[in-house]
Structure 1
């Protein structure tokens, strides 16, 4: 990382650069061998009382004492992706939200308050995609009240790591006592290569609604009530994939939990993949690949050309699988919970 200007280090950023992407170098504690330095790149979210706050693309906030700075400058947005479809944060934010539609929603300016009986944070969080029409602190108070009225914890879903994302809002949430609880990557890829994947497994069954067996494998709720079915069935064009418990054996019990399942929402050029789960005893047999490929082929038939999915940062197995399919990170999203 190059900071020198005319052969010397320079701090060329000021508090007026809050909201811009910056790169800084700071002096850290000496380890006994002289000064040590650390570089930080991210959005400058505040500069108060001689302390800078920078939010990295991961959502991590770094606080830096001004006197420790040895170099700093404004830098352009991260380079454009070199593979996969072109996509803006704004487009993906809308598409991913349509795949997890709530049972109840209410507008707060350009923010959307969403509730679905507590099933999945993605349908039970405020989605802030613009101006709430109030000062942020007042808007957050309204968010708390709205969820309290419904007996639900208050969450706000934000994003970092893409042009036009919400690092400034993340910092404001932290200043107001909200804490980041879950982070995940939004990954995208070309759809056709996913549809071309092959796995040695019996045919994957595709349906428009999840049956009892599918729901038995998708263990993300205690009881699959109407609110769960409504959220799972939401989206412009929804498909559910099932691989029977014996991977297609003719005598397989149709009511038994499947060996693997998946869900896909087709929305214009986008196909979103979610709820891809494989029973522990059936893993490492290519079933997740078979499910993804079958859903991708159906989405291609409906005119989609690009794919997206969401994967939590600590799910190493899924991340490796999606790496092999050509999915690359576009941005990260986070759920902040009110203290």
Structure 2
């Protein structure tokens, strides 16, 4: 197995652990994840490694998602078996959300963030950490993402199920929370997610301040390296991460089929 494939499989496994689904079933090495339809990551097949040995694995998977009243979604990366993407395309699965996995050395990222903040006025900003996603953090996250309140319990459940060392940061400007993020440390790696800043406050160094806070907390908890997943079309975020020393290691995307009736068989 080549080094890049080994690395991809390792990061994909780490990333799956920091966003645990409400329901997880296994088909050999593949994870079938379902969480009331909240986020594709928590409601998709993590297709890592060889194809399942079950001859009719595709109808079996589609039945799982049909039983959970969800579309069938596959998470496709370099760690997925050859030909899977083309096979799903031939079965009517639409392409969805091309994304990037970016990594950085924590020390270098911290230095880069500090350098970017030298000329920024961040005196009014403070970073407050909590070990669980409390009501205030969840409310701020939903507000900053413009998500509906009805999603709160699902996000709360996902955050509660994270079993590794985790921290949830609230970036305040005065009394107001204007950015949030989550860091999860697994061995030498820290994974960052739920990274969002107030649209009204963008362009003032807030992104660098938030990333500096996430990096500092992760280093305190033993992480020497860090990674994140970002939608490829979010060019502003990708540019910020690149300026902080992040490098794109590989990409992934989803394959989605909404109408399962023709294929959902027992």
- TM-score band (shorter)? 0.7 to 0.9
Deviation at 1:182, TM superposition (A): 1.4
Query: Which residue is 2:261 aligned to?
Result: none
Report the 3-state secondary structure (helix = DSSP H, G, I; strand = E; otherwise coil) of the residue aligned with 2:126. coil
In terms of fraction of residues, the more helix-rich structure is 2
Query: Which residue is 1:132 aligned to?
Result: 52
Counterpart Cα distance in 2 of 1:236 and 1:114: 19
Counterpart Cα distance in 1 of 2:82 and 2:41: 19
Query: Which residue is 2:131 aligned to?
Result: 208
List gaps (5 residues or longer) in structure 2: 259-266
Q: Residue 100 of structure 2 is aligned with which of 167, 174, 185?
A: 185
Query: Would the aligned equivalents of 1:109 and 1:133 in 2 still touch at CA under 8 Å?
Result: yes
Counterpart Cα distance in 2 of 1:123 and 1:311: 16
Report the 3-state secondary structure (helix = DSSP H, G, I; strand = E; otherwise coil) of the residue aligned with 1:194. helix
Counterpart Cα distance in 1 of 2:237 and 2:6: 22
1:314 aligned to 2:237?
Answer: no
List gaps (5 residues or longer) in structure 1: 1-76
Query: Would the aligned equivalents of 1:235 and 1:267 in 2 still touch at CA under 8 Å?
Result: no
Counterpart Cα distance in 2 of 1:214 and 1:236: 19
| 1:59-78 alignment, distance < 5 Å | none
CA-atom RMSD in angstroms: 2.1
Stretch of structure 1 that moved more, 218-227 or 279-288: 218-227
Query: Which residue is 1:237 aligned to?
Result: 165
Query: Which residue is 2:210 aligned to?
Result: 291
1:195 aligned to 2:110?
Answer: yes
The structure with the largest alpha-carbon Rg is 1
Query: Which residue is 1:274 aligned to?
Result: 193
Matched positions, count: 243
Question: Which deviations, in whole Å up to 9, do the C-alpha atoms of 1:273-331 show, x marking residues without a partner?
Answer: 11111112111121121111112111111111111011111101101101101111111
Deviation at 1:183, TM superposition (A): 1.1
Counterpart Cα distance in 2 of 1:147 and 1:106: 11
Counterpart Cα distance in 1 of 2:43 and 2:85: 18
RCO comparison, higher one (Cα < 8 Å, 6+): 2
Deviation at 1:211, TM superposition (A): 3.0
Q: Residue 226 of structure 1 is aligned with which of 153, 169, 193?
A: 153
Cα distance change of structure 1 residues 100 and 240 upon mapping to structure 2, 3 Å threshold = same
Report the 3-state secondary structure (helix = DSSP H, G, I; strand = E; otherwise coil) of the residue aligned with 1:259. strand
Query: Which residue is 2:248 aligned to?
Result: 329
Give the TM-score normalised by the residue count of structure 2: 0.84
Cα distance change of structure 1 residues 171 and 331 upon mapping to structure 2, 3 Å threshold = same
Query: Which residue is 1:54 aligned to?
Result: none
Cα distance change of structure 1 residues 192 and 317 upon mapping to structure 2, 3 Å threshold = same
Report the 3-state secondary structure (helix = DSSP H, G, I; strand = E; otherwise coil) of the residue aligned with 2:37. coil
